[in-house]
Amino acid sequence: MGRRKAIALVAMGLAVCLAGFSGCQDTAKNSAKVRPPAATPQPKASPPLVASVGELPFPQNPADFSNLTPAPRLWVDQLIDDVQASFDAANRAYAAGQLDVARKDFNAALNRLTKSNPEVTGDARLQDLFNRIVDTMQTGEMATEEKDEATAEANEDAADAADNAASADNSDDTTAQAPPESTAPIEEIADMEDLPASDPRLAATAEKELITVPHDLPLTLNPSVLQYLSFFASPRGREIVEMGLERAGRYRAMIESTLKKEGLPLDLIYLAQAESAFKPRAVSSKGARGIWQFMPYSGEEYGLHRTYYVDQRDDPVAATEAAAETLRDLYQSFGDWYLAMAAYNSGPMNVTRAVERTGYADFWQLQQRNALPEQTKNYVPIILALTLVAKDPGLYGIHVDADPGPQFDSVTLQHSISLRLVADATGAGLDDLQALNPELVRGVTPPNFVLNVPKGTGDQLQAEIANIPADKLTSWRVTKFSADETLGEVARRYHVTLASLANVNVIDPHDPPAAGTVLIVPAAAPRVRLIYYRVRRADTLDSIASRYDVTVSDLQRWNRLRSSRTPHGRTLRIYENSYPGETATAPRTVTVARHSTEQAPAAPAAPAGPHQTVEHKVRSGETLWSIAKEYGTTVEAIKQQNPFLATRELEVGDRLSISTRQN
């Protein structure tokens, strides 16, 4: 049901437009429209193959689609189109501040979709669309309601900030989710309505560049491309290009090596420039992440896993490998780089349906006939314009000093460790550590993780944490003792007792060590915050769990929910910053945070009972990650209990043995 299977269906969708072809034509210049065969005229001879600019890695033996018949258009496709239209209208209204109109359109989209029961239809596209609508509604509703609470919460937030600034050890950074760097640039560029007019001088410059600059993607100059060239020559456009080209230096060698290994055009690197400006933590409004902007489901299909600790879509190396595989599969299906890029942006089925409706297997014809989503119509021109600018920035008044590639040591850590402790031990800043390990979604590593640290600090890290117990690596700290402070001041700074500080370091509390001595600080674990959350109409248990980085099973256990039905209108108890499966009876400090309806003490949840093994039948659209989240376990644990997963992928109908806790 994922992107791999959708790509496999492209061949059937292209049959209508390819059945009448008698020869290949250049993508950038010509198009062929499928027409019913004439009754009397003799067939014309096949035209000679037109060589395109640059060398293209076309398949030596293209697939023969002549014997295939087009797949019928299912009612599900029409439903998705209708719901997506309402969803898009709601987003436009919300962006314009028309909240009543937006709410009406959101409800219309959701009501239409829920009547189809996406779980029953078994179509992962419906489930994905449902999740996006619910998440967007929740985000919008929360933003509107929280405006009224902003003044009341400001004092509390200011007090928390002051407390955190005064004591670095009590910060919740080790479990709080790391924020994204920015929104995806492609959304700003592709959705612009006030693009500048094409500049004839740029057209002449670009035409000369096509002749002199080597490239391995087919490059075309037309009004769409020239319009974006004009934008990239404007102040805002230059800013976007310069930012991306500067950051490209960090990843260019790695990306080009990966593309070369897959036999792909090296110029595909500029997809990443358009998608994210090479920001590993860029996030789109629809939930796509990373420098290649993978959605959760498509990322899972290409091996980009998400856990409590990491999101591999943010890992530049893993995401680049997945993007190369995706683009390779798309090109093998379409045999055309422009259509492959369009499919990367909007999904292969959108492009296939556009070809079916129009009879044209040519991007420019599909663009002209408005057969593609609005953003996708602009996507390919943006890539081509960016490629032209990036090949010779000076021609367009852009001057860039590319960032150097990162230099780091890689350290294999068997146990989870907080980045604050790593920063203490290496002298690196938290921002530097996050930049070297962008896939970490919070300030703590998972077990058995390969952590990147600044060059030359790997051995130092291992030496300074060697004497810290494994179960304390997520909370304890280290610090160098300074000659101008006392042990008592160190203890107060980290909110520990002088006796415990002296005991852990085996020193006399009244006889300070020499300056420069590394002290181990037995700091407390981050605080768990108790939140009272009132369930809104658009909420689901899954969306609530995602919002607060907990699991559905945690919500059920903490609130004694007997089923997976969402208790609309009820106030739920949520322990934020708790680890998956952690109960409120754990010996950690619990504080009542904002969104609470009353300052009640944190009542302990029912203690977890013994483990039990349940059987789960895999449904359409499910992944190991979603199943693990449902049962409050991990993908690794499920794989260990089901050895057959080591030899093949998960399939619909599989029966999994899953160990969970009795409540």
User: 174-183, 201-210, 287-296, 617-626: which has the minimum mean pLDDT?
Assistant: 174-183
Q: Work out the average pLDDT over 611-622.
A: 73
Rounded Cα distance between 532 and 224, Å, is: 51
Q: Does residue 520 register a pLDDT over 90? A: yes
Q: What is the mean pLDDT of residues 421-446?
A: 90
For the cut 70, the answer to whether the pLDDT of residue 558 exceeds it is yes
Residue 63 clears pLDDT 50, i.e. is over it: no
Give the span between the Cα atoms of 269 and 266, in whole angstroms.
6
Res 615 pLDDT > 90: no
The contacts of residue 546 (CB under 8 Å, 6+ apart) are: 135
User: Is residue 356's pLDDT more than 80?
Assistant: yes
Residues in Cβ contact with 616 at an 8 Å cutoff, skipping those fewer than 6 apart: 627, 631, 655, 656, 658
Q: What is the pLDDT of residue 548?
A: 74
What does each C-alpha distance from 354 to 21, 64, 73, 86, 359 come to in angstroms?
18, 20, 12, 20, 8
- Region 157-169 average pLDDT: 37
Pairing between β-strand 611-617 and β-strand 655-661 as defined by DSSP bridges: antiparallel
How far is 461 from 437, CA to CA, in rounded Å? 16
Q: Which residues pair with 178 in a beta bridge?
A: none
Cβ-contact 193, 186 below 8 angstroms: no
Chain-centre distance for alpha carbon 297: 10
Give per-residue burial for 236-247: e unless 16+ CB within 10 Å, then b: ebbebbbbbbeb
Highest mean pLDDT among 109-113, 147-151, 504-508: 504-508
- Alpha carbon of residue 607 to chain centroid: 35
Q: Is the pLDDT assigned to residue 151 strictly greater than 70? A: no
Q: What is the pTM of this model?
A: 0.58
pLDDT exceeds 90 at position 351:
yes
The pLDDT of residue 50 is: 37
Q: What pLDDT score was predicted for residue 145? A: 37
What pLDDT sits at residue 649? 73
- Average pLDDT of the segment spanning 654-658: 84
- Output DSSP code: residue 294: B
The closest alpha carbon to 384, from 240, 226, 266, belongs to: 226
User: What pLDDT is recorded for position 541?
Assistant: 85
Do 71 and 12 touch, CB atoms closer than 8 A?
yes
Using only C-alpha atoms, the chain has a radius of gyration, in whole angstroms, of 28
pLDDT for residue 661:
58
Q: What is the dihedral of CA 160, 166, 167, 168, to 10 degrees?
A: 90
Query: Which range has the top average pLDDT, 12-26, 177-191, 488-502, 513-527?
Result: 488-502
**Other Cβ atoms within 10 Å of 620 Cβ, number:** 15
Q: pLDDT band at 586, cuts 50/70/90?
A: very low
Residue range 259-281, pLDDT digits in tens = 999 999 999 999 999 999 999 98
- Whether 626 has a pLDDT exceeding 50, the answer reads yes
Neighbours of 398 (CB within 10 A): 18
Tally Cβ neighbours within 10 Å of residue 427.
Answer: 13
CA-CA distance, 578 to 575, in Å (whole number)?
Answer: 6
Q: Is the pLDDT score of 446 beyond 80? A: yes
pLDDT at position 531: 83
Query: Residue 384 has what pLDDT?
Result: 94
Please, what is the average pLDDT of the chain? 75
pLDDT score at 155: 37
Statement: residue 587 has pLDDT above 50 = no
Distance in angstroms between the alpha carbons of the first and the last residue of the chain: 34
pLDDT exceeds 60 at position 152: no
One-character DSSP codes across 35-90: -PPPSSSPPPPPPPPPPPSS-----SS----TT--PPPPPHHHHHHHHHHHHHHHH
